[in-house]
Every structure is written in structure tokens, then in C-alpha cells.
Structure 1
Amino acid sequence: MTLTLYIHPLASFCHKVLIAFYENGTDFRPVTVDLGDPGQAAALMERWPVGKIPVLHDAARGRVVPETSIIIEYVQRHYPGPVPLLPVDEDQRLDARLWDRFFDLHVGVPMQKIVTDRLRPEGGNDAIGVADARRALDTAYAVIETQLEGRTWATGEAFTIADCAAAPVLFFASIVHPFGSDQNNLAAYFERLLARPSVQRVLAEARPYFALFPYREAMPQRFLAEEALA
């Protein structure tokens, strides 16, 4: 098999790439990496010394491709499927890239700050940093609410790389910092994402690992039950 994707099934950034692959029926071999295992971590570092996942290895072209957005664009260019996640039109492509980055940076980063703070040793928590992250999510939610007015997906009527980025970070962010009661566009968009078969498949594969999520007790029951989102 030409493509190997190094992942962890609970990582939101890995989910982003998996959604893109499942949308297009991309033929690949997933390899789960436990970064806490010295052997597995060393094997990943041989591919990408930064040591972060996901990482794609293309044996046919002799390429190692890191970074989620670059992986998705690389695969669309060299192994395209039926769903063009980066539009052909240049302005629409810029919009897709913009909102891809928005979800990664303005939802994913503060969400991860809140999650990882719970993993800090006793006495080492960063209350100010978490409060800042919650304010950042409030701002991001408000921006998304406005952006979604009259739109089915993040940039319009076509499902793009931006929606691949949105689904996993909104999934985890909605648990640690729920949407506002007046954010109806955002809430409806999130439900559309959850109904997408590619997203359902990713969450089904992640479900056995949900016990490892630091906010496991806050997860809605519908996320925990088999076939709950089908």
C-alpha cells in the first residue's frame, strides 16, 4: 500500500485528516502511534523529527508529509477522490484555507489548552491560561456563528477542508466549553457535521479511547453509545 498515516485515534488533528480520507475513499494504511512508548516514538521520529502526529508517508513517491492541511492538499493533488476539499476557484480556495486555519488555531488551540491543563501535576495548573482559552473560544464561537449565517458548511454549500478541521475541534470544544444558548447557527452546523458519514466513522473508531479523555465525565451520553450518532 502506497500511503501510510501515523495517527492516534483520540487526537483531533488526526481526526481532521481521517475525515478527509474517508470523504474521498483514500486507500491508506493507518498506524497507531503511542508517543509514550519509546520504540514507537523513535520510529515516528525517524519519519518526522518534530515527533508530532499525524504524519503521512508516501512510499511510491518517497515523501514524508507532516501537518494536517498539507497532508490533505498533498493527497488531493496526487491521489484525488470525488470530493474536492480545496476548491478549484482561487477565491473559494482561499476561503477554505482561511477557515481551515481558523478552526485549527482559534478553536483547536484553546480547546487543547483547557484539556491539557487537567493533565498537569497538582499545583501546576494554569488558571489564568485556561480562563484566557475560554475567552478565546467565546470569541471564536461568536465569529463562527456569524460566518455560518445562510451557509450549510463553513464556506458555503460545498464541504471543504475547513469542515474537516471544524468537526473534531468542535466535538471536543463543545464538551469542555459548550456553545452559547443563542448560537443556533453553530449548534445546527455541529449537528450537520455529526451526521456526516466520514465524521461518524472517525468518532466510532475513537470511541474505545474516550476513557482516556481528561473530560470524559463531561461527555454527553450520546457520544458514548454505539451507533448513537448514526
Structure 2
Amino acid sequence: MLRLYGHTFSSYTWKALIALYANDTPFTFHQIGEGNADDDAFVAAAGPSGQFPVLSDGAVTVFEATSIIEHLHLHHRGPQPLLPDDPALAIRTRMWDRVFDLHVMNVMQDVVAEKIRHPDNPDLAIRERVEARLGRSYRWIEQWLTDYTRRDAVTLVECAAAPSLFYADWVHPIPDDCSQLRAWRAHLLALPAVARCVDDARPYRHYFPLGAPDRD
């Protein structure tokens, strides 16, 4: 039985959970930070930063959400392929995955981290920089969506895009002139695998340092 270690409010945990849910892959979920010292110790030792999510598959331990999805695609393939079999198309899929992690998710987290460090007096320059970078990313993705065939299927792209856009839009709302991106975010949140993550995370919204908006 696969075991996934993470937290239901964690964006990168969502990324792995979406892949598992989309293919109805059997697994057990281990919530970190809820008093199970063995689980916490396992995650702390799994990778160099001790971060979740972490997947345990028998004797194999996989950390980093993208690598977990690659592992699932290779060893626990379900009816929805998480990556294309064509190597050239798989490269493009991995590239888009990096766009959402590096240019949306990680950018958004800079302003969240600043609020955690300085809750009463966050650096406004960091917020301005984050909003500018997110705005640029939003407009790039808006153009990219023109040629992206949106389906109800879940691939590595959707696994990366759904949590990153969910939280980034809380920090810096997608503007009206990115109508395709706004519609795609709504489409992603309505996918059953993603909607399950959204609902399971609701009890933890008070953890969001900037204040979770009253929507989604």
C-alpha cells in the first residue's frame, strides 16, 4: 500500500493528492504535524530539507511532488496518464509543470513567507515585486492557454496548475483581462480530484497568514 505524507492545506501536498485521486490509486494518507512523531521523523529524514509531501512505496521513498507524480505514472499507472508517452510531448509537459511551480507557486510564497516573518510590518516592496511577477506569469499563461487543449483529464500540468493558481489568486487576483486563465482556474477547481482537495483543506484556512478570502 502506498503511503503519502503531507498536510491537506499544503499546496504541494495537493499536487500529489490530485494525481492519486484522479486515478483512484489506493493509498493511505498520513497528516503531518498532528502528533505522530514517527511520521514527522520519517518526513524529516526523507529529503535534504525535511519537507513534505513524501511518498513511501514499499522500500522506495520519493520526495518532491513532481517526482512523486513521475513515480506514480511509471509504477502505478491508472486510466488517466499523468504524462504523455511521446518523449517530446513529455518534455513540454514537464516544462509547463515548472512554469506553475517556479513562476506561480514559489513566487506567491515569497509574500506569504514575509507575512509569517513580519506579521505586523511586512515589507511592501516584497508584495509589489510578487504582484509584478505574478502579473507577468498570469499574462504568459493566458497566451499559452490559447493553444492548450483543456480537457477533463488530469495530467502533471493540472496537478501543478490547480494548487498554484488556487493560492496565487488569493495573494494577487487574476485580472479581468486574463479571462481564459480565470475560466481555466474555475475549471480546475471543479475537477473532482481538485474539488476534494479544496474541501478537505477548508478546516485549515485560518492558517493562511494573509487571511483566506471568503470565496472558493
TM-score (norm 1): 0.86
Counterpart among 67, 87, 90 of residue 87 in structure 2:
90
Counterpart of 1:78 in structure 2 is: 75
Counterpart of 2:103 in structure 1 is: 106
Amino acid at match of 1:186: L
| CA distance in 2 between partners of 1:45 and 1:94 (Å) | 31
Structure 2 vs 1, CA of residues 185 and 58 (structure 1 numbering), >3 Å: closer, same or farther? same
Counterpart among 188, 191, 197 of residue 192 in structure 2:
197
| CA distance in 2 between partners of 1:80 and 1:40 (Å) | 26
Structure 2 vs 1, CA of residues 25 and 87 (structure 1 numbering), >3 Å: closer, same or farther? same
| CA distance in 2 between partners of 1:148 and 1:127 (Å) | 31
Counterpart of 2:31 in structure 1 is: 32
Q: Which moved more, 1:116-125 or 1:89-98?
A: 116-125
C-alpha deviation, 1:40, in angstroms: 5.2
Counterpart of 1:10 in structure 2 is: 9
Unaligned runs of 5+ in 2: none
Does residue 127 (structure 1) correspond to residue 124 (structure 2)? The answer is yes
| CA distance in 2 between partners of 1:147 and 1:190 (Å) | 14
Structure 2 vs 1, CA of residues 39 and 65 (structure 1 numbering), >3 Å: closer, same or farther? closer
| CA distance in 2 between partners of 1:41 and 1:21 (Å) | 21
Which string of whole-angstrom CA distances, capped at 9 and with x for unpartnered residues, describes residues 138-182 of structure 1? Answer: 1100100000014343xx886420111000010011111001111
Question: What RMSD over aligned residues (CA atoms) do the two structures have, in Å?
Answer: 2.2
Counterpart of 1:220 in structure 2 is: 214
Does residue 148 (structure 1) correspond to residue 142 (structure 2)? The answer is no
| CA distance in 1 between partners of 2:36 and 2:118 (Å) | 20
Answer whether contact 2:112 2:209 (CA < 8 A) is retained: yes
Identity %: 38
Unaligned runs of 5+ in 1: 224-230
Structure 2 vs 1, CA of residues 152 and 188 (structure 1 numbering), >3 Å: closer, same or farther? farther
TM-score (norm 2): 0.92
Query: SS of the counterpart of 1:80?
Result: coil
Aligned residues: 216
Structure 2 vs 1, CA of residues 183 and 52 (structure 1 numbering), >3 Å: closer, same or farther? same
